[in-house]
Every structure is written in structure tokens, then in C-alpha cells.
Amino acid sequence: MIFHVKIEKAEDGWFVVECPALPGCVSQGASEEEALVNIREAITARLWAEDQKAAAVLSENSSRPPMVVTV
């Protein structure tokens, strides 16, 4: 998947990066490279958490277990 992110240098010198497609998904790093590595991790964690919530709801509301697809 592809996500656009916004990166800015904060007053303290750290780089803050956010993913507008996932409100609240924000990270930072001492360098731009570190900030980008960290936002990738944050995006992955956010998507995994959302999927876990959806899987729980699907399990409760269906007689069949949810199926898994990869993208």
C-alpha cells in the first residue's frame, strides 16, 4: 500500500511525520530517515490494530470465521 505523509522539522530539531489518511498516526525521529522508518512502523501497527478490531466483530457476527487476504 502507498500512503502520503507530511514531514516537518520541529523547533527542537526533531522531525515530526504524520499520515493524514490515518488520523492520529504520527511519529518522529532525530533525522528525516529515522522519522520515515518510525512512521512506517506506526502505520503498520495502526493497520494491524484496526484489522484485529474488525476480525473480532466479524467473528461475533458470522457463522464462518473471517478470511484473510494479503495486499
Closest alpha carbon to 19 in 50, 48, 34, 36:
36
Taking only the tens of pLDDT, the chain with its 71 residues reads: 899 999 999 999 999 999 999 999 999 999 999 999 999 999 999 999 999 999 888 888 888 888 888 88
With vertex at residue 63, the alpha carbon angle to CA 60 and CA 69, rounded to the nearest 5 degrees, is: 80
Query: In the 3-class helix/strand/coil scheme, how is 49-63 assigned residue by residue?
Result: HHHHHHHHHHHHCCC
- Domains in the chain, start-ordered, CATH in brackets? 6-59 (3.30.160)
Give the global pTM: 0.86
Rounded distance, CA 60 to CA 14, Å? 43
